[in-house]
Amino acid sequence: MNEPVLSVCDLDAHYGAIQALRGMSLQVAQGEMVALLGANGAGKTTTLRTVSGMIRPSAGSILFEGAQIGGLAAQTLVRRGLAHLPEGRELFPTMSVEENLRAGYWVHRRSVSGYRSTRDQVMSLFPILGERRRQHAGTLSGGEQQMLAVARALMSKPKLLLVDELSLGLAPMIVRQLFEILRAVNSQGTAVVIVEQFVHMALANTNRAYVLAKGQVVLDGLSADLLANPQLIASYLGETAEVRGRKGSEEAGPVEVGGSRVGR
């Protein structure tokens, strides 16, 4: 593994008095695509929010390209190349598709010519957005809104893209299409971290995966290995797991999966 683009170590985060992350640690290598899995409340979304600066960590370190970024504001981190596609998309509903894309380009706004080429490049991934260019974002269908959210995040030309619940409320066909686009983006060098409820879809599209429970990592390994052990995943994710095969019967103790560390 070359120098990681993101290195999170012993991270704690709180919502008021409630502790959401307890010693969360993970690494993302350059050009890697990583999935965060786990039941509701496991800390997946909180992890993304803390990394992207929406939440201040209460302890631990976050290194982005080797530099400490823990506690920096979201608006500062976008400039460094860290884009976050948040839960619920967070579009600008009363603004047009084009204006949403311009918003995504905000950190590079001084380069006017760059805007056109970046926009055209991003739009080529989502031809439908070109047709909807003047339409208000709030009037798009759910799938189109998610495409716009992805497109907007790409407009900042990120080195690391955090994606929260890409599939939420969308038809499987659209989800597959979006995942293909994310993989294309990833293959051009952008590291991607996804949080996903559809475990199978997440594992099939990533290099590695972390399983979270109660604010920390309880299992990590190569996605292909985890995919080959559905029982193991099911034992951690219980009913929420969308994995084919029997539910795991063995209780989760320390287990070796494809040479990767597993622990509780």
Partner 1 sequence: MNELKLVADHVILALPLIGAYALFGLGIVVIYRASRVLNLAHGAMVMLPGYIAYSAAPRVGPALGLLVGILSGGVLGVLVERLVVRRLRPISQTAQTVGTVAVFAVLVALAAKVWGTEVLPGVTVVPRHAYQVGVAVVSSDDLALFVVAAIASAFFFALFRFTSLGLAMRLAADNRRAAALMGIDPERTTSAAWLIAGLFAGLGGVLLAGATGLHPYINSLDVLPAFVAVLIGGLESTSGALVGSVAVGLAIGLVPSVGFIGDQEGAPQLVLAIVAFVIMALRGRKFQASDVRSALA
Interacting residues with partner 1 (CB under 8 A)? 52, 54, 73-75, 78-79, 83-84, 86, 90-95, 99, 102-104, 106-107, 109, 152, 156
**At residue 213, what are phi and psi to the nearest 5 degrees?**
-150, 135
Nearer to partner 1, 107 or 211 (CB): 107
Shortest separation between residue 107's beta carbon and partner 1, angstroms: 4
Integer-rounded Cα radius of gyration of the chain: 18
Q: How far apart are CA 219 and CA 211, in angstroms?
A: 5
Nearer to partner 1, 114 or 258 (CB): 114
Q: How far apart are CA 155 and CA 129, in angstroms?
A: 14
CB 161 within 8 A of CB 193: yes
CB 212 within 8 A of CB 218: yes
Nearer to partner 1, 90 or 120 (CB): 90
Shortest separation between residue 246's beta carbon and partner 1, angstroms: 41
Shortest separation between residue 152's beta carbon and partner 1, angstroms: 8
Nearer to partner 1, 135 or 231 (CB): 135
Shortest separation between residue 56's beta carbon and partner 1, angstroms: 13
Neighbour-count burial for 158-181, b at 16+ CB within 10 Å, e otherwise: bbbbbbbbbbeebeeebbebbbeb
